[in-house]
C-alpha cells in the first residue's frame, strides 16, 4: 500500500481488454483501488491485480472503452476498495459497485469495510442448525434451509429461478424468534426488466425496508460483476456480525460472475482450465461461498442462496461442479417440470440440503418432519419409476399399488410442489400437505414413519 | 244392471282407499327418508363448512397481514428517504458554509506553515523534490516563498482553480500528487459527513 496514496501516474504502457498497464509505478499494492481518469475527465474505478518491475496491472471495473494510452491517468488511492456500511443501508438500492442507484445520497457510514472481507476463523464457526422459513413448501419441507448455510440453486437458461429468488427474498423469515432478519440481494448481469422486477417485488411486498439490493444489469461492464457479490457480502457480514441480524444473501446469477472471471483471466493471458475458466475458479468461488456462516458468541448469521444457471443444463459444467464441492447441498430446477408449467419446478430427487437434519424436528419445525420428508422422497421416487413403467406397459399393466403411486406423483406435483409466486406457506401448512401426500398410500406402505406419528397425522383417503 | 250398482261402487271405493293409503304411506316414508337424508347431509357438511370457514378466516388474516406489511413497509421507506434527503441537504449547507470560511480565511503565518507541510508531504510521497508546483492565484506568493526549502522545485506560471494548498507534478511529468485543500476535503468527505450527521443527532 502506498504511504498516503493519491499519486497519479500518467504513463500508460498498454490497454488490453479490461486491463490497463501503468508504467513507472512505485509503492503500489495488490488489490489497491485505482481511479482512472480519461482524457475527457471521466473517472472510473479499478484495482491492482499485479505489481512488479515498476509496472502495475489495473483491472478497470467500468471497462476500458474510450480509454487511450495518451491522456489517461491512473491515481493509486492508497487503500483497497471499501464499502461504507451502517444500518442505513437497509431499504437502499445500489449498483454493482455499491454506489446508490435509488437517487438518494451515499449512506452515512458507520465504518468502511474492505470488500474482500476477513476470513472466518474456522475454530470460531458455529454449526448451523436453526431453521429459516422461506414459505416455499418444497424447500421448507424437503430441503430445509438453515441459518448460516450455503445452499445454491442450480437452474438453466430461461427457467423461473429469478421468480423463485424474488419469492424467497420476499418471504424468508426466522420462526419463533424476535431476532431481526434481513435480506441482501445481489443481481449479477441480469436484464434490466429482471432488476426492475426484483426491486418492485420487494418494494410492493413491503420487504424492501429489511432488504439491501445490489443490481448489476447485463449492460453494465462485465468486470463490475467481480465486485458485486463482494460488496453484497460485506454488507451482509456487517448486518450479521456487527448488528446481530440474521441475513439471507441471495445472489443471482453466479454464472455471470464466473464469465467475468474468465474474461479477466483471458485478458491476463493465464493458462485456461476447464472450458476456459481460470484454474483458480474453485478457490475464487470459495472466497465468496465461505463467507456464509455463524460465529461463536455472535448473535447474527449469514446464509447464502447463490443461484447459477447451468449452461446447456449441464450439471457437470465447471461452475455447478465446483460450487457443489463448496456448498452444503443444492436445489436443482428441473427442465421437465418447467415445461409442464409447474412452479417452482424443483427436481427433488436431484436436490438435497446437507444441513437439513440438524435444522428440523422438535423445537425447530415439528417432531415428525424428518420422517414424513423421507417418506415423501421415497414415495415420489417410486412414483417416477412407475411413470417410466407405465410409459412402456401402459396403465392397464400396472398393479393397484402402482396406480396409487402414480396418483401420488400427480398430487405431489399439483398440490405440494405447485405454489403461487405470492403464496407464503407456513411450515405447518407444508407439513399438512406432506401428510396429505403420504395419506394417498395404504398404511402398510408407510415404512419410514414411526407408528405414533402415523396414528396422529395419517388420514387414509 | 241396477242390482250390481252398489257392489261396484263399494269395490271402487275400497280400491281408491287402498291406493290413497299406500300413496300416503309412501309419501310419508319418502318425506321421512328425505328428512333424514337432508339431516345427514347437513351434519356431514358442518365440519367441511367449519373447515372452509376457518380457511377463509386464515386466508383473510394472511392477506390482511400482507397488506399491512406493504403499507407500513412503503410508508417507513418513504419517511426514511425524506429524512435522508433532508439530512443531506443540511450536511451540504454545513459544507458550503465551511468552504466559504476557508476561501475567505486570512493567509496568515499559520497558512504559510500549512503550505510548507503540504509541500513536505507531497515531495515525500512522490519521492523527489524535482517538482513543478501549481497553486491558485491568491496563494502564489506564499507558495513561492515556501519553495526555498525545496531545492529543485519551481512554481508554475500557470494557476489552478482551488480553495488553497498545492498540486505538484514531477518534472518528467510522470507523477502528480494533488494536495490542494479541495482534494484533501474530498478524500476525507465521507468521514466529515459522518461527523456532521452526528451533530444533527444521526448516529449509526
Q: Which residues pair with A190 in a beta bridge?
A: A217
CATH 2.40.10.170 residue ranges for chain A: 7-79
- At residue A19's C-alpha, the angle toward residues A13 and A21, to 5°, is 25
Written as nine digits, the cell of A152 is: 445454491
Measure CA of the first residue to CA of the last residue in chain B; give whole Å.
Answer: 121
pLDDT at A1: 36
CA–centroid distance for B133 within its chain: 46
pLDDT at A174: 84
CB–CB of A91 and B176 under 8 A? no
| pLDDT tens string A262-294 | 998 888 888 999 999 999 999 999 999 999 999
What sign does the CA torsion over A26, A32, A35, A39 have? positive
Q: Which cell is B40 given?
A: 345427514
Q: Is B80 on the interface with A (CB under 8 A)?
A: yes
DSSP per-residue codes, A6-75: -EEE--EEEEETTEEEESS--S--TTEEEEEE-TTS-EEEEEEEEEETTEEEEEETT--TT--TTT-EEE
Q: How far is A186 from chain B (nearest CA, A)?
A: 20
Q: Coil, strand, or helix at residue A119?
A: coil
The yes-or-no verdict on residue A4 having pLDDT over 70 is: no
Contacts of B69 in chain A (CB under 8 A): 205-207
Query: In 3-state terms, what secondary structure has residue A395?
Result: helix
- Chain B environment of A425 (Cβ under 8 Å): none
What's the pLDDT at B7?
63
Average pLDDT over residues A177-196: 88
First to last CA, chain A: 72
Closest CA to A243 of A182, A194, A198, A165: A182
Cis-peptide into A209, omega within 30 deg:
no
pLDDT of residue B6: 64
* B88 interaction partners in chain A (CB closer than 8 Å): 104-105
∠ Cα B116 B118 B122 (to 5°): 120
Q: Does pLDDT of A26 surpass 70?
A: yes
> Helix (H, G, I), strand (E, B), or coil: what is residue A329?
strand
Q: What pLDDT, on the 0 to 100 scale, is given for residue A205?
A: 83
Tens-digit pLDDT profile for residues B62-93: 888 888 888 888 888 889 889 889 989 998 89
Cβ contact, residue pair B176, A4, below 8 Å:
no
A10 touches chain B (CB under 8 A): yes
- pLDDT at res. A267: 85
Q: Give the residues across from A333 on adjacent strands.
A: A346
| A432 pLDDT higher than 80 | yes
Nearest Cβ partner for A8 among B76, B80, B177:
B177
Residue A354 vs residues A129, A146, A296, A351, A450: alpha-carbon distances, Å: 11, 10, 21, 10, 23
Residue contact A88–B125, C-beta within 8 A = no
- Order of all β-strands in the sheet with A145-146: A145-146, A131-133, A173-174
DSSP H helices in A268-399? 281-289, 318-326, 335-339, 356-359, 369-393
- Please report how many Cα atoms fall inside a 13 Å half-sphere around the Cα of residue A1, on the Cβ side: 9
Nearest to A7 among B66, B126, B202 (CB): B126
Q: What are phi and psi of B31, to 5 degrees?
A: -60, -45
Element (H, E) at A82: strand A82-85
The torsion region of residue A302 among left (phi > 0), alpha (psi -120 to 50) and beta comes to beta
Give A123→chain B minimum CA distance, Å: 30
The answer to whether residue B86 neighbours chain A at the CB level (below 8 Å) is: no
Q: Do A112 and B126 touch (CB under 8 A)?
A: no
Helices (H) and strands (E) in chain A, counts: 13, 22
Residue that has been written with the C-alpha cell 455499491 in this structure = A98
* DSSP assignment letter at A272: B
3-state secondary structure of A345: coil
Neighbours of A387 (CB within 10 A): 14
**CB burial of residue B33 (10 Å; 0-12, 13-18, 19+):** exposed
Query: For residues B204 and B187, what is the distance between their CA atoms, to the nearest angstrom?
Result: 21
* Architecture (CATH level 2) of domain B106-199: 2-Layer Sandwich (3.30)
Q: How far does the CA of residue B70 sit from the closest CA of chain A (Å)?
A: 4
Inter-chain contacts counted by CB atoms under 8 A, chains A and B: 89
Question: Which chain B residues have a beta carbon less than 8 Å from that of A112?
Answer: 190
DSSP output for A204-247 = HTT-GGGEEEEEEETTS-TTHHHHHHHHHHHHHHIIIIIT--EE
Alpha-carbon distance B131 to B123, whole Å? 8
Residues for chain B: how many in total?
A: 204
Nearest to A368 by CA among A437, A423, A298, A448: A448
pLDDT by residue, tens only, chain B of 204 residues: 555 566 667 888 899 999 999 999 999 999 999 999 999 988 888 888 898 999 899 889 888 888 888 888 888 888 988 988 998 999 889 988 988 888 888 777 788 888 999 999 999 888 888 899 999 988 888 899 888 888 888 999 899 988 889 999 998 888 999 999 988 888 888 888 888 888 887 765
Min Cα separation B160/chain A (Å): 15
- Report the C-alpha gap between B130 and B151 in whole angstroms: 8
How crowded is residue A425: how many other Cβ atoms within 10 Å of its Cβ?
23
Please give the Cα distance from A154 to A346 (Å, whole number): 10
Q: What is the pLDDT of residues A294-347, one digit of tens each?
A: 999 888 999 999 999 999 999 999 999 999 999 999 999 999 999 999 999 999
Nine cell digits for residue A395:
396403465
Distances in Å between the alpha carbon of A2 and those of A25, A73, A111, B127? 10, 17, 21, 12
Domain residue ranges of chain B, discontinuous segments joined by +? 2-78, 106-199
Q: Which three cell numbers stand for residue A34?
A: 485505482
Q: Scanning every residue of chain B, which has its alpha carbon at the shortest distance from the alpha carbon of A243?
A: B204
Helix axes B5-103, B181-199, angle to 10 degrees: 130
CB-count exposure of residue B5 (10 Å: 0-12, 13-18, 19+): exposed
pLDDT 10s digits, A60-105:
988 888 899 988 999 998 888 899 999 999 999 999 999 999 899 9
Residue A177 has pLDDT above 80, yes or no: no
Residue pointed to by grid coordinates 458485486: A228
Instruction: Provide CATH code, domain A83-359.
Output: 3.40.50.12240
Distance (Å) from the alpha carbon of A106 to chain B's nearest alpha carbon? 9
Distance of CA A51 to the CA centre of its chain: 32
Those residues whose C-beta lies under 8 Å from the C-beta of residue A106, and which sit 6 or more positions away, are A84, A99, A100, B190, B193
CATH architecture of the domain with range A7-79:
Beta Barrel (2.40)
With an 8 Å Cβ cutoff, is A41 touching chain B?
no
Amino acid at each position: 500500500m502506498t504511504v498516503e496514496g493519491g499519486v497519479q501516474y500518467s504513463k500508460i504502457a498498454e490497454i488490453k481488454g479490461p486491463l490497463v498497464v501503468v508504467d513507472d509505478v512505485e509503492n503500489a499494492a495488490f488489490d489497491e483501488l485505482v481511479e482512472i481518469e480519461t482524457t475527457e475527465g471521466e473517472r472510473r474505478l479499478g484495482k491492482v491485480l499485479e505489481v512488479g518491475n515498476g509496472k502495475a496491472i489495473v483491472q478497470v471495473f467500468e471497462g476500458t472503452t474510450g480509454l487511450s494510452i495518451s491522456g489517461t491517468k491512473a491515481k493509486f488511492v492508497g487503500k483497497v476498495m471499501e464499502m461504507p456500511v451502517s444500518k442505513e443501508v437497509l431499504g437502499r438500492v445500489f449498483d454493482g459497485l455499491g454506489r446508490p442507484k435509488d437517487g438518494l445520497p451515499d449512506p452515512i457510514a458507520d465504518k468502511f469495510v474492505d470488500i474482500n472481507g476477513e476470513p472466518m476463523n474456522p475454530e470460531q464457526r458455529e454449526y448451523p442448525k436453526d431453521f429459516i422459513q422461506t414459505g416455499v413448501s418444497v424447500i421448507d419441507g424437503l430441503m430445509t434451509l438453515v441459518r448460516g448455510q450455503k445452499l445454491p440453486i442450480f437452474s438453466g437458461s430461461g427457467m423461473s429461478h429469478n421468480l423463485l429468488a424474488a419469492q424467497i427474498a420476499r418471504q424468508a423469515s426466522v420462526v419463533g424468534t424476535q431476532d431481526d432478519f434481513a435480506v441482501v440481494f445481489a443481481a449479477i448481469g441480469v436484464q434490466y426488466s429482471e432488476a426492475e422486477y426484483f426491486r418492485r417485488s420487494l418494494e410492493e411486498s413491503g420487504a424492501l425496508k429489511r432488504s439491501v439490493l445490489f443490481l448489476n444489469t447485463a449492460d453494465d461492464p462485465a468486470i463490475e460483476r467481480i465486485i458485486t457479490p463482494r460488496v453484497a457480502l460485506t454488507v451482509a457480514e456487517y448486518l450479521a456480525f456487527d448488528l446481530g441480524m440474521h441475513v439471507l444473501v441471495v445472489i443471482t446469477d453466479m454464472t455471470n460472475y464466473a464469465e467475468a472471471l474468465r474474461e479477466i483471466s483471458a485478458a491476463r493471458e493465464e493458462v485456461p482450465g476447464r472450458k476456459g475458466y481460470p484454474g483458480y475458479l474453485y478457490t475464487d468461488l470459495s472466497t465468496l461461498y465461505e463467507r456464509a456462516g455463524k460465529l461463536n458468541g455472535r448473535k447474527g448469521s449469514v446464509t447464502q442462496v447463490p443461484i447459477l444457471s447451468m449452461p446447456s443444463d449441464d450439471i457437470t459444467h465447471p461452475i455447478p461442479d465446483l460450487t457443489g464441492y463448496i456448498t452444503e447441498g443444492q436445489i436443482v430446477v428441473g427442465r421437465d417440470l418447467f415445461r409442464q408449467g409447474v412452479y417452482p419446478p424443483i427436481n427433488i430427487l436431484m436436490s438435497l440440503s446437507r444441513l437439513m437434519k440438524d435444522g428440523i424436528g422438535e423445537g425447530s419445525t415439528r417432531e415428525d418432519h424428518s420422517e414424513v420428508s423421507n417418506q415423501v422422497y421415497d414415495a415420489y421416487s417410486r412414483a417416477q419409476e412407475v411413470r417410466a413403467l407405465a410409459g412402456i406397459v401402459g396403465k392397464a399393466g400396472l398393479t393397484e399399488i402402482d396406480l396409487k403411486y402414480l396418483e401420488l406423483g400427480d398430487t405431489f406435483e399439483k398440490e405440494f410442489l405447485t405454489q403461487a409466486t405470492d403464496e407464503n406457506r407456513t411450515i405447518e401448512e407444508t407439513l399438512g400437505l406432506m401428510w396429505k401426500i403420504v395419506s394417498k398410500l395404504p398404511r402398510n406402505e408407510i415404512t419410514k414413519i414411526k407408528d405414533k406419528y402415523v396414528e396422529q397425522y395419517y388420514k387414509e383417503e | 244392471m241396477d242390482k250390481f250398482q252398489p257392489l261396484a261402487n263399494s269395490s271402487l271405493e275400497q280400491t281408491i282407499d287402498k291406493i290413497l293409503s299406500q300413496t300416503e304411506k309412501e309419501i310419508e316414508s319418502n318425506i321421512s327418508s328425505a328428512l333424514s337424508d337432508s339431516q345427514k347431509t347437513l351434519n356431514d357438511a358442518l365440519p367441511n363448512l367449519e373447515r372452509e370457514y376457518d380457511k377463509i378466516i386464515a386466508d383473510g388474516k394472511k392477506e390482511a397481514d400482507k397488506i399491512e406489511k406493504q403499507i407500513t413497509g412503503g410508508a417507513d421507506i418513504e419517511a426514511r428517504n425524506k429524512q435522508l434527503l433532508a439530512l443531506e441537504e443540511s450536511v451540504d449547507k454545513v459544507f458550503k458554509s465551511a468552504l466559504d470560511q476557508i476561501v475567505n480565511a486570512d493567509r496568515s503565518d499559520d497558512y504559510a506553515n500549512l503550505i510548507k507541510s503540504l509541500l513536505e508531504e507531497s515531495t515525500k510521497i512522490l519521492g523527489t523534490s524535482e517538482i513543478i508546483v501549481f497553486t491558485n492565484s491568491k496563494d502564489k506568493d506564499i507558495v513561492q516563498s515556501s519553495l526555498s526549502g525545496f531545492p529543485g522545485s519551481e512554481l508554475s506560471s500557470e494557476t489552478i482553480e482551488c480553495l488553497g494548498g498545492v498540486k505538484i507534478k514531477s518534472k518528467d511529468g510522470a507523477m502528480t500528487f494533488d494536495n490542494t485543500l479541495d482534494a484533501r476535503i474530498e478524500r476525507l468527505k465521507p468521514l466529515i459527513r459522518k461527523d456532521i450527521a452526528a451533530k444533527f443527532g444521526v448516529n449509526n
